[in-house]
Amino acid sequence: MLKIKDLDCNIRSKNAGPFWLTIDIFCANLEVYQCLKRTRSMTANSIGLLFSVPAETVKLFHLDSLKAIKISFPRPHVQGSITDCDMHAGQQYVHLLNLNIEDNQEHVL
């Protein structure tokens, strides 16, 4: 099965303040972007499960003009707290790399 790490995209995570984390997925072309946009595996529920946050707190934004998807959710640990293991949230995108992508289109990426 196809995974996000197999697609031609640039993924980064970062702070969105001390209480929120943001992951940006920049797709190299429209075909990859459309695949990610239509997949049933990138939902608030799946992101919530992956990052152990409530699905209702996950926000997904599709930025068509940039061929990008932005995912934001509350940080599991407040930035800089004793339980925070990634102060700048720069490593959090790694959890997404093995997410299975279901593409119901006939073509292969």
Phi, psi angles (nearest 5°) of residue 108: -105, 135
Q: Is the pTM of this model over 0.85?
A: yes
Which positions ≥6 away from 105 have C-beta within 8 Å?
A: 35, 38
Domain that holds residue 19: 4-96
Residue 47 lies in a domain: yes
Residue 102 lies in a domain: no
Average pLDDT over residues 3-8: 93
CA dist., res. 26 & res. 71, Å (int) = 12
pLDDT in tens, 26-59: 999 999 999 999 898 899 999 999 999 999 999 9
Q: In this model, does residue 6 exceed pLDDT 60?
A: yes
Residue 109 lies in a domain: no
Report which of residues 69 and 102 the model is more confident about.
69
pLDDT of residue 104: 55
pLDDT of residue 105: 56
Residue 39 lies in a domain: yes
Residue 36 lies in a domain: yes
Residue 108 lies in a domain: no
Q: In this model, does residue 107 exceed pLDDT 80?
A: no
pLDDT in tens, 46-92: 999 999 999 999 999 999 999 999 999 999 888 988 988 888 888 88
Domains in the chain, number:
1
